[in-house]
Amino acid sequence: MAYKPSTTAIHNGLNDDAQFGCVVPPIYLSSTYNFTDFNEPREHDYSRRGNPGRDIVQKTLAQLEGGHSAVMTNSGMSALHLLCTVFLQPGDLLVAPHDCYGGSYRLFNSQHQRGAYQVQFVDQNNEAELQAALEKKPKLVLIETPSNPLLRIYDIEKIAQQAHDTGALVAVDNTFLSPILQQPLALGADFVIHSCTKYLNGHSDIIAGAIIAKDEKWAEELAWWANNIGVTGGAFDSYLLLRGIRTLSPRIKQQQSNAQELVNYLKAQSQVKKLYYPGLLDHTGHDIAVKQQKGFGAMLSFEFSGDESQLRRFLRALTLFTLAESLGGVETLISHTATMTHAGMSAEARAEAGITDSLLRISVGLEDPSDLIADLENAFKVAAQY
């Protein structure tokens, strides 16, 4: 029987323990498993290749995204690296968004420089630029939507069709929305990538990633290579990730509601030069977001109107907004994009992507939104006092 995502997130793995009747699946910390006899391994033989707890969380992720199966990795970056290792060889072309996450940009650019594969960064909302890149017959096209940090929206269905017409595979980074709000495989993608550190875990206490594959042949290859190069997730991280997924749906919905209240407040602030949020009618790709998403998410960015000294005072005055990288946790985080999440990009690359030195990104948490707004109000006043 097919269940709704909220039910799948809660019930996968429950009541499966036949030995003691544990409601919650136990943590299998053993690194190795005995053979029943000579050359007769059990289902698991070594935890790098497979772990019972990781099996459960991978099954859950695959069901949530509507894929064949998933591979949990030890970070979001290792998930991206695994995907490129499996499907790209020297000379192959990767088409990536020019405004992608700074860590992704750094990985692709450094691998390009050492000849592992070729990469071309393009504005995927620029039809002519995208088409010119696709005419080069790329092996893989990566879509990141909403983009990090400007929350630009890209039409997954349209780009996937264009990419497939040239023989390319398509991967979508779904970290910002999670499968609760967006289903890239149903829109034509071949793979979905997550930094599970973010919304899927939701508590800022693990580093993990995942790739969900639509087809069995790709899933088997990804699993083989994940074991081969040693990027699979550990037992305890699997447990924490599954525990976080249990509450994914209510967390996402409340965080999104809180984000909308912050957006309404920030729209009226004179010290906000420009606000980025897919729910705004004038936001780039708003109509596409309405078509392919089930909500606008809980990430927003804005350009601070003021000099660097005012920006520093604003950040120091905040008490409920933690100045830190990452996102998707129950706590509200704020980051200065140019010096934090996208410091790995050159100033020229950031300028090309539209990322200014005054840009701040907020991951809205589960605090009472009135308290968050009061904190912002005080910080804006402090910044304007001098």
Whether residue 357 lies in the annotated active site: no
Distance CA 19, CA 262 (A): 49
Catalytic residue among 16, 17, 33, 48: 48
Q: Quick one: DSSP state of residue 287?
A: H
| Number of neighbours of residue 27 by Cβ within 10 angstroms | 15
95 membership: H or E segment, kind and range: strand 93-97
Catalytic residue among 173, 251, 276, 277: 173
Catalytic residue among 54, 139, 152, 198: 198
The answer to whether residues 296 and 279 touch, using CB atoms and an 8 Å cutoff, is: yes
The tokens describing 211, both together, are: 């790739």
Tallying the residues shown for the chain, one arrives at 386
Distance CA 269, CA 329 (A): 26
Whether residue 101 lies in the annotated active site: yes
Strand locations in the chain (E)? 69-73, 93-97, 118-122, 140-144, 169-173, 191-195, 209-213, 272-276, 299-304, 322-323, 333-336, 359-363
Distance CA 377, CA 110 (A): 41
Whether residue 198 lies in the annotated active site: yes
Catalytic residue among 101, 117, 199, 239: 101
Residues with catalytic function: 48, 101, 173, 198
